[in-house]
Structure 1
Amino acid sequence: MATTADPLKPQPAPSRGAGRKPVRRAARRISAWSLGALVVAALIALPIVAVVAQVFVPSGGAWSHLASTVLPLYLRNSLMLVVLTVALASAMGVGAGWLIAGFEFRGRGVLQWALMLPMTVPGYVIAYVYYEQLTFAGPVQSTLREIFGWGRRDYWFPDIASLPGAAMMLALVLYPYVYLLTRAAFATQSLHLIEAARALGQSSRGAFFRVALPMARPAIVAGAAFVAMETLADFGTVQHLGVQTLTSGIFRTWFARGEPVAAAQLAAMLIGFVALALVLERLLRGSRRYVGDPAGKSASAAARHPLSGWRALIVMALCAFPIVAGFLFPAGDLLRRAIEVGDPMWGERFLAFALNSLWLAGLAALVLLSLGLFLGYARRLDGGPLVRAALGVAGIGYAMPGAVIAVGVLLPLAWADRTLDAWMRASFDISTGLLLTGSYVGLIFAYSVRFLSISLNTIEASLQRIPPSLDDAARGLGSGPGRTLATVHFPLLRGGLLSAAIFIFADVMKELPATLIVRPFNLDTLAIRTYRLASDGRLDEASTSALLIVALGIIPVILLSRAMDRPGAH
């Protein structure tokens, strides 16, 4: 036994040492693409980390003053605003999604894409329009007093400058996100279950509440979570209507009171609310999945219940209400004001505002497309847990309010400016001043943190449609990752890149809080111009810039509607 075992002893040793260890080291080695993805994710997460770190910084009594005076009001208003907005937006979005997906009636083809139009109107713009129309001195109440001879105390009229008013304004422009998700969910549900419910005697209402609605719960929860996060992020609407929330409190604490540490601590609390919304969304959605319809879009169309007569008129009216209230009325009012009065700086000065917006939106789209393409391709090359975690961190900024991101961006940039200035003074007796704070670099950085998720998700979805065999073929021909991306993937990604660029462009055009805080000195955009004029009660003059923002936002809505109408889009 000893003589047979001795020759075998050396054989396993080379296989464990020389044969296997190099392979393990090669498998664990981080590639340049993966390392770059980690660096980008770290930079994107830096503003959020900077805000959270401020919780442990002494505020010199400012925080205790906020906690004993206005903080309870901020918390109560923020919570109530989210609850009311989510309830209203979900009611409109789910109702419209079911009516469009489940019934066939005259005008349905127009209504199904027109229901997305209110998403082109920024929340602060619709608040400006309705405030001017519905206040005591506005045309609606003035007309009522003239017709009926009422005095101030002779009638009751809902106050638009209130928390319920702000919730209604936000719901009118945010419901399309719930509508889009639920419409897709209803259109892809198993037709056999819906038909079985009707065959068992269920009415259309019963089939909706007992079958369709429970099956669409994941989509409803996801849409509601998005509405909640956008509501927490809103600044212009609540500011104009006088509703004090955490977001408006951040602005007031930073700029009016000059307490950046306390403002950052408020922002950290707001991050906690956003994180809670994300956790609740995950818990409520759980592991549920949509039940797809293998028959496709044509079968979904065949399953729609035909309506005619007064029933069709009621459904048309229900679908038309959010379109009229959320788009046609505010857009028509802005158009009238722009024609009658308009911006007094129309001409060279107004052109400067528009060019600033176009320049920032175009530059942000270019940067975000580059980052999204790099990160998406890094995941395609290395789909390991480290890279997946990095991409998860890179996409978290979209769930954060612009005000929080702005505060988080300013904190590290101000530290870098102070550090560089101190070193230059000590070494060369030269003051560098503020190089990064209040610069285009800081503003584009804030946009990157806020909107990278749009670029990343769109590009990843496009990359998933490219078969891996193309990568293998290019690699077999001697092409490296960079060359494969440039010559093989990039031409196939043009459609996805264009869609991502358009949506980023539209979002940056509307973005207000981050632009207002981080922008370079004396830089005005269309959003800032609209906010300043409307805040001063000059809506007639603000109508021109507001209308242009709405007009530019229609482009991505048209593209999105066309994409959803393609076969298999649902």
Structure 2
Amino acid sequence: MFSPFVRLVSGRLALLWVGAFVSLPIVALIVAVLQWDAVAMALLREMAASVLPGYGWTTLVLCGVVALGVGVVGTASACAVSLFDFQGRRQWEWALLLPLAMPAYVVAYAYTDFLQFSGPAQTWMRDTFGLEGRLFPEVRSLGGAALVFVFTLYPYVYLLVRVALLERAAHLMDAARLMGASLARRVAVIAVPLARPAIMAGVALALMETLADYGVSSYFGIQTLTAGIYKAWLVLDSRIAAAQLATLLLVVMAVLLRLELHARRKLRFANAKGRRVVAQPVVLRGMRAVGATLVCGVPVFLGFVLPVFFMARPLWQAWGVEDSPLPWSSFVGWSVNSFKLAAITALLASGVALALAFAARRVPDRLTRIVVGLAGMGYAVPGAVIVVGLLIPVAWLQATRPDWQVGFWVSTTIFGVIWAYLVRFTAVALHTVQSGYNQVPATLDESARMLGVTGWGLWWRVHRPLLVRSTLVAGLLVFVDVMKELPATLVLRPFDHDTLAVVAFQLAKDERLGEAALPALVLVLVGLIPVIFLSRTLNKKAA
């Protein structure tokens, strides 16, 4: 048996290793940016005079439109299903979550395939009505990218606003109705201000996803900061330029993360007081009911139904056709690669999350809080930033110690891509496991210690049985996120180790959109799993 001192030291060392593991990309970026020299200064001046203003302006406009769009669509749909009762409301409650299963780049491929100049929609209209030229605006544009993000990311706002309104808004609106306030005034003066922290938190999450995206911006040719990072690294072959852009993007993400955490604290404060009050929603009939149905139906139709239909069309046409262009033979290999990477990462991330959550509960000192905080920030770090942050120290070690073969392990095996996954997605598992720990009373720990159960025995005999459900959910969420992840996989995957996300992106870039439908639809089906679970959880809370 190890002494308490040895166990304490080994536990501290393990925490330090985890902290170094998850913080390496950020530390590497900071060190790279601080390495100023004449070449770096000249490159920075050149970027500031040429591409950087364009990157910044495009990113700012895109984020502004997306923030306004997801705020309006998410808030309106959440108010409709939370405050009012109309025909089909129960179905819309879960249907509004369906766009969460759609990766934004998959929606971009689907709309481009169907609505572009040579697509089925415009071709049919020209042939049927004798029209000529372009009939729809160009899909691959800044406006098209903004609409794609709005109708795939609005569920972040919808979820948080709905939770904020479930308990108290209807009750307060009843009180306002008794005082003579009109329906529009009750919504504008009571419901929306009450949900303001939730709206801010949801918008911040949507903007994080927008900034982290690479598939849509690259496919549409939008010059955002994320696309600029990859161009600086892969086209200009300049790690300093990539680090500078990645650091700028990281600062923006840190501001958004701070905003989101601040809004969540206000949201918890708003919901902390008072007992649970269940009030009857306002019954809508006639045109008001039609309006509420449209508010709920349009986002679901544009964010899920139409993209799925557009992707299923080429599969249906090619089904059973000899010499089909669809890559049926390679599909199994891509699926195996995706599922293998997702399963390994889910297991490792769940294990790290359990260890960190147990350490935070058992010894909540400063070191533990710092390491847990670093691990919890990973999801806010875009895949582009993680890639640059990992490749910079790898390049340095490869140049100084070639006998270590660091570059070989990171770039030619799955070690590098799994490392990037863990840096980004351990946060997802950690937050889920910590939510499960919040349901475990601290009195159980005290009772177990009185019976002589301490250390990892406490976790194995007391905590583990109570955290089975949270651990399974954590692994599921990480699994789905890894399946859809594109930027880090695109750069770090080993040769001949394509995943469904990478193949869908590459086929779409090669204008083989019909062939991209098969892997894209599989990603959507996998993404439906946590959506179904989330819908069931919300319905239980609302009951």
Tell me the distance in 1 between the aligned counterparts of 2:145 and 2:23: 31
Partner of 1:449: 423
The amino acid of 2:180's aligned partner reads G
Tell me the distance in 2 between the aligned counterparts of 1:278 and 1:432: 32
Q: Determine if contact 1:216/1:290 at 8 Å carries over to the other structure.
A: no
Residues 1:39 and 1:74: Cα distance change in structure 2 (over 3 Å): same
Q: 2:23 aligns with which of 45, 52, 64?
A: 45
Partner of 2:99: 118
Partner of 2:281: 304
Q: 1:170 aligns with which of 120, 138, 149?
A: 149
The amino acid of 2:71's aligned partner reads S
Tell me the distance in 2 between the aligned counterparts of 1:433 and 1:170: 35
Partner of 1:362: 343
The amino acid of 1:64's aligned partner reads R
Residues 1:282 and 1:461: Cα distance change in structure 2 (over 3 Å): closer
The amino acid of 2:253's aligned partner reads V
Tell me the distance in 2 between the aligned counterparts of 1:56 and 1:457: 32
Matched residue SS, 1:434: helix
Is 1:82 paired with 2:63?
yes
**How do residues 362-381 of structure 1 correspond to structure 2 at under 5 angstroms?**
362-381=343-362
Tell me how far 1:393 sits from its aligned partner. 1.4
Q: 1:238 aligns with which of 205, 217, 222?
A: 217
Matched residue SS, 1:436: helix
The amino acid of 1:76's aligned partner reads W
Q: 2:410 aligns with which of 432, 436, 439?
A: 436
**How do residues 519-558 of structure 1 correspond to structure 2 at under 5 angstroms?**
519-558=493-532
**How do residues 289-368 of structure 1 correspond to structure 2 at under 5 angstroms?**
289-291=269-271, 296=276, 299-300=277-278, 302-341=279-318, 344=325, 346-368=327-349
Please say which of residues 229-238 and 283-292 is displaced more in the overlay. 283-292
Tell me the distance in 1 between the aligned counterparts of 2:401 and 2:414: 18
Please say which of residues 410-419 and 165-174 is displaced more in the overlay. 410-419
The amino acid of 2:311's aligned partner reads L
Tell me the distance in 1 between the aligned counterparts of 2:440 and 2:495: 45
Q: Normalising by structure 2, what TM-score?
A: 0.92
**How do residues 23-422 of structure 1 correspond to structure 2 at under 5 angstroms?**
32-57=10-35, 58=37, 59=39, 61-152=42-133, 157-189=136-168, 191-281=170-260, 287=266, 289-291=269-271, 296=276, 299-300=277-278, 302-341=279-318, 344=325, 346-422=327-403
- Superposed CA deviations along residues 251-285 of structure 1, whole A, max 9, x for unmatched, are 11211222222112111111111122234445667
Tell me the distance in 2 between the aligned counterparts of 1:518 and 1:393: 22
Q: Determine if contact 2:326/2:518 at 8 Å carries over to the other structure.
A: no
Tell me how far 1:45 sits from its aligned partner. 1.0
Partner of 1:5: none
Residues 1:483 and 1:281: Cα distance change in structure 2 (over 3 Å): closer
Tell me the distance in 1 between the aligned counterparts of 2:316 and 2:126: 28
Tell me the distance in 2 between the aligned counterparts of 1:415 and 1:304: 62
Tell me how far 1:384 sits from its aligned partner. 2.6
Q: Determine if contact 2:337/2:499 at 8 Å carries over to the other structure.
A: yes
Tell me how far 1:189 sits from its aligned partner. 2.1
**How do residues 464-543 of structure 1 correspond to structure 2 at under 5 angstroms?**
464-543=438-517
- Superposed CA deviations along residues 453-474 of structure 1, whole A, max 9, x for unmatched, are 1111110110111112221222
Q: Determine if contact 1:189/1:212 at 8 Å carries over to the other structure.
A: no
Q: Determine if contact 1:361/1:504 at 8 Å carries over to the other structure.
A: yes
The amino acid of 1:522's aligned partner reads D
Tell me the distance in 1 between the aligned counterparts of 2:115 and 2:272: 45
Please say which of residues 96-105 and 467-476 is displaced more in the overlay. 467-476
Tell me how far 1:528 sits from its aligned partner. 0.5
The amino acid of 2:168's aligned partner reads Q
The amino acid of 1:291's aligned partner reads N
Matched residue SS, 1:435: helix
Matched residue SS, 1:45: helix
Tell me the distance in 1 between the aligned counterparts of 2:47 and 2:363: 47
Please say which of residues 251-260 and 240-249 is displaced more in the overlay. 251-260
Tell me the distance in 2 between the aligned counterparts of 1:144 and 1:128: 21
Tell me how far 1:177 sits from its aligned partner. 0.9
The amino acid of 2:73's aligned partner reads M
Residues 1:541 and 1:551: Cα distance change in structure 2 (over 3 Å): same
- Superposed CA deviations along residues 362-404 of structure 1, whole A, max 9, x for unmatched, are 0000010001000000010022333223211111111111111
- Superposed CA deviations along residues 425-481 of structure 1, whole A, max 9, x for unmatched, are xxxxxx786233443221111111111111111101101111122212222222222
Matched residue SS, 2:343: helix
Matched residue SS, 2:408: coil
Matched residue SS, 1:88: helix
The amino acid of 1:130's aligned partner reads Y
Tell me how far 1:146 sits from its aligned partner. 4.1
The amino acid of 1:486's aligned partner reads W
CA RMSD of aligned residues (A): 2.4
- Superposed CA deviations along residues 187-228 of structure 1, whole A, max 9, x for unmatched, are 122554222211222222211111111111111111010011
Residues 1:324 and 1:233: Cα distance change in structure 2 (over 3 Å): same
- Superposed CA deviations along residues 232-257 of structure 1, whole A, max 9, x for unmatched, are 11111111111111111111121122
Matched residue SS, 1:202: coil
The amino acid of 2:285's aligned partner reads S
Tell me the distance in 1 between the aligned counterparts of 2:32 and 2:397: 16
Tell me the distance in 1 between the aligned counterparts of 2:122 and 2:461: 64
Q: Determine if contact 1:189/1:290 at 8 Å carries over to the other structure.
A: no
Tell me how far 1:346 sits from its aligned partner. 4.0
Tell me the distance in 2 between the aligned counterparts of 1:48 and 1:547: 34
Tell me how far 1:36 sits from its aligned partner. 2.7
Tell me the distance in 2 between the aligned counterparts of 1:437 and 1:49: 20
The unaligned stretches of length 5 or more in structure 1 are 1-25, 425-430
